[in-house]
Structure 1
Amino acid sequence: MSVVDSGFFLIPLLAVLAPILGRMLGRWVRIPIVVFELVLGIVFGPSILGLIEPSELFSQLSNLGLAMLFFMAGSEINFGAIAGRPIRRASLGWLISLAAGVAAGFLLQPGEAAVVIGVALCSTALGTLMPILRDAKELGTPFGQAVTAVGAVGEFGPLVAISLFLGARNLELSTLVLAAFILVAGGSIWLAMRAPHGRLHRFVNATLHTSGQVAVRIVFLILGALVVLSIWMDLDMLLGAFTAGIVWQLIMRNANHEDREAVESKVEAVAFGFLVPVFFIYTGVTFDLDALVSDWRVMVMVPILLVLLLIVRGLPSTLALPVGSSRKDRMAMLLLGSTGLPIIVAVTAIGVDEGLISSGMASALVGAGMLSVLLFPLIGMSLHGDREVVTSPAYDPLVPPR
Structure 2
Amino acid sequence: MSHPGTLVLILAAAVLAPLLVHATGRRVRVPLVIFEIALGIVMGPDVLGWARPDDVVDTLADLGLSMLIFLAGYEIDFAAVRGDTLRRSLWSWPIALVAGIALALLVSRGDVFGAFVIGTALTSTTLGTVLPMLRDSGELRGRFGTVISAFGAVGEFGPVIAVALLLSGRRPAESAALLAAFGAITAAAVFWALRPRPPWFARLTERTLHTSGQFAVRFVMLLLACMLGLAEVFGLDVLLGAFAAGVLTRLVLLRAAPASSGEVLGKVEAMGFGFLVPLFYVVTGIEFDLDALLHDPGALLLVPGFLLLFLLVHGGPVYLLAPRDLDRRDRAALALFTSTCLPLVVAITTIGVDQELIATDQAASLVGAAMVSVLVFPLVAARVRGTGRTAPATDGAEESEESEESEESEAW
Letter matched to residue 175 of structure 1: A
Range with bigger deviation, 143-152 or 189-198: 189-198
- Deviation of the 1:379 alpha carbon: 2.0
Q: What's the counterpart of residue 67 of structure 2?
A: 68
Once the two structures are superposed, the pairs formed by residues 228-307 of structure 1 within 5 Å of their partners are 228-254=229-255, 258-307=259-308
Range with bigger deviation, 250-259 or 109-118: 250-259
Work out whether residues 73 and 245 of structure 2, in 8 Å CA contact, stay in contact via their aligned partners in 1.
Answer: yes
CA distance in 2, matches of 1:51, 1:387: 44
- Deviation of the 1:323 alpha carbon: 2.2
1:365 aligns with 2:366: yes
SS of the residue corresponding to residue 252 of structure 1 reads: helix
Q: Given the superposition, is the C-alpha separation of residues 266 and 386 from structure 1 closer, same or farther in structure 2, using an over 3 Å criterion?
A: farther
Once the two structures are superposed, the pairs formed by residues 183-194 of structure 1 within 5 Å of their partners are 183-194=184-195
1:41 aligns with 2:40: yes
1:81 aligns with 2:80: yes
TM-score (norm 2): 0.90
1:102 aligns with 2:101: yes
Letter matched to residue 229 of structure 1: L
Letter matched to residue 127 of structure 1: G
TM-score (norm 1): 0.93
Work out whether residues 288 and 363 of structure 1, in 8 Å CA contact, stay in contact via their aligned partners in 2.
Answer: yes
Q: What's the counterpart of residue 128 of structure 2?
A: 127
Q: What's the counterpart of residue 18 of structure 1?
A: 17
Q: What's the counterpart of residue 119 of structure 2?
A: 118
Work out whether residues 201 and 256 of structure 2, in 8 Å CA contact, stay in contact via their aligned partners in 1.
Answer: no
CA distance in 1, matches of 2:184, 2:211: 36
SS of the residue corresponding to residue 36 of structure 1 reads: helix
Q: What's the counterpart of residue 218 of structure 2?
A: 217
- Deviation of the 1:197 alpha carbon: 4.4
Q: Given the superposition, is the C-alpha separation of residues 313 and 197 from structure 1 closer, same or farther in structure 2, using an over 3 Å criterion?
A: farther
Name which one, 1 or 2, has greater alpha-carbon Rg. 2
Letter matched to residue 382 of structure 1: R
Work out whether residues 314 and 338 of structure 1, in 8 Å CA contact, stay in contact via their aligned partners in 2.
Answer: yes
CA distance in 2, matches of 1:152, 1:239: 14
- Deviation of the 1:57 alpha carbon: 1.1
CA offset digits 1:323-370 (Å, max 9, x no partner): 231222112111111111121111112221222211111110111111
Q: Given the superposition, is the C-alpha separation of residues 254 and 382 from structure 1 closer, same or farther in structure 2, using an over 3 Å criterion?
A: farther
Letter matched to residue 321 of structure 1: A
SS of the residue corresponding to residue 260 of structure 2 reads: helix
- Deviation of the 1:385 alpha carbon: 4.0
Work out whether residues 70 and 127 of structure 1, in 8 Å CA contact, stay in contact via their aligned partners in 2.
Answer: no
Work out whether residues 11 and 281 of structure 1, in 8 Å CA contact, stay in contact via their aligned partners in 2.
Answer: yes
- Deviation of the 1:294 alpha carbon: 1.0
Range with bigger deviation, 174-183 or 310-319: 310-319
- Deviation of the 1:319 alpha carbon: 4.5
CA offset digits 1:148-173 (Å, max 9, x no partner): 11111111111111111112211111
Q: Given the superposition, is the C-alpha separation of residues 45 and 65 from structure 1 closer, same or farther in structure 2, using an over 3 Å criterion?
A: same
CA distance in 2, matches of 1:59, 1:50: 17
Q: What's the counterpart of residue 395 of structure 1?
A: none
Work out whether residues 90 and 319 of structure 1, in 8 Å CA contact, stay in contact via their aligned partners in 2.
Answer: no
| Identical positions, percent | 45
- Deviation of the 1:232 alpha carbon: 1.9
1:325 aligns with 2:323: no
1:179 aligns with 2:195: no
CA distance in 2, matches of 1:59, 1:225: 21
Letter matched to residue 243 of structure 1: A
CA distance in 1, matches of 2:287, 2:189: 35
Letter matched to residue 61 of structure 2: S
Letter matched to residue 278 of structure 1: L
CA distance in 1, matches of 2:388, 2:54: 42
Q: What's the counterpart of residue 392 of structure 1?
A: none
CA distance in 1, matches of 2:313, 2:94: 10
Work out whether residues 216 and 266 of structure 1, in 8 Å CA contact, stay in contact via their aligned partners in 2.
Answer: yes
Q: Given the superposition, is the C-alpha separation of residues 274 and 387 from structure 1 closer, same or farther in structure 2, using an over 3 Å criterion?
A: farther
CA distance in 1, matches of 2:165, 2:198: 35
Range with bigger deviation, 66-75 or 295-304: 66-75
- Deviation of the 1:258 alpha carbon: 4.3
Q: What's the counterpart of residue 396 of structure 1?
A: none
CA distance in 1, matches of 2:387, 2:63: 34
SS of the residue corresponding to residue 9 of structure 2 reads: helix
- Deviation of the 1:219 alpha carbon: 1.3
